[in-house]
């Protein structure tokens, strides 16, 4: 995930078997008029409190305030369009408990941390 406009390959496949593991973000899949807002939302949502970020096996987990649920949904809607190699799991506990968003997949940690640059 970068702030460019077209597909960005982070890991070039070396053969046909590896092609399915390629990390390709197609930023043009996010409507142009929404891209800047998407990246700003991602930065504030995911990295607003570094203490609430932890590494999981193949990605990152984010602890988020329950009041950010609509922001999480908006982030996921666009992120799924451009980064089809990532998986998202959202835990919404009862009684306004802290939300947990897990983003996993090939290159997920590096890709998400690149938002901070």
Domain count, the chain: 1
Quick check: is 83 in a domain?
yes
Task: Say whether 45 sits in a helix, a strand or coil.
Answer: helix
Residue 64 belongs to what domain range? Answer: 7-116
Q: The pTM is what?
A: 0.79
Count CB-CB contacts under 10 A for residue 18: 11
Is residue 2 in a domain?
Answer: no
Indicate if the pLDDT at residue 107 is higher than 70.
yes
pLDDT in tens, 64-104: 999 999 999 999 999 998 998 999 999 999 999 999 999 99
Exposure string for 87-102, b = 16+ CB within 10 A, e = fewer: ebeeeeeeeeeebbbb
Does the residue 24 lie in any domain? yes
């Amino acid at each position: 995930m970068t702030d460019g406009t077209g597909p960005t390959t982070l890991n070039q496949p070396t053969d046909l078997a590896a092609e399915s593991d390629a990390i390709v973000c197609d930023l043009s899949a996010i409507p142009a008029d929404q891209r800047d807002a998407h990246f700003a939302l991602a930065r504030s949502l995911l990295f607003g409190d570094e203490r609430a970020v932890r590494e999981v096996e193949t990605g990152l987990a984010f602890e988020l305030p329950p009041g950010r649920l609509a922001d999480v949904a908006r982030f996921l809607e666009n992120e799924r369009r451009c980064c089809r190699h990532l998986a998202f799991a959202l835990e919404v506990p009862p009684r306004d408990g802290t939300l947990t968003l897990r983003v996993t997949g090939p290159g997920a940690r590096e890709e998400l941390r690149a938002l901070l640059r």
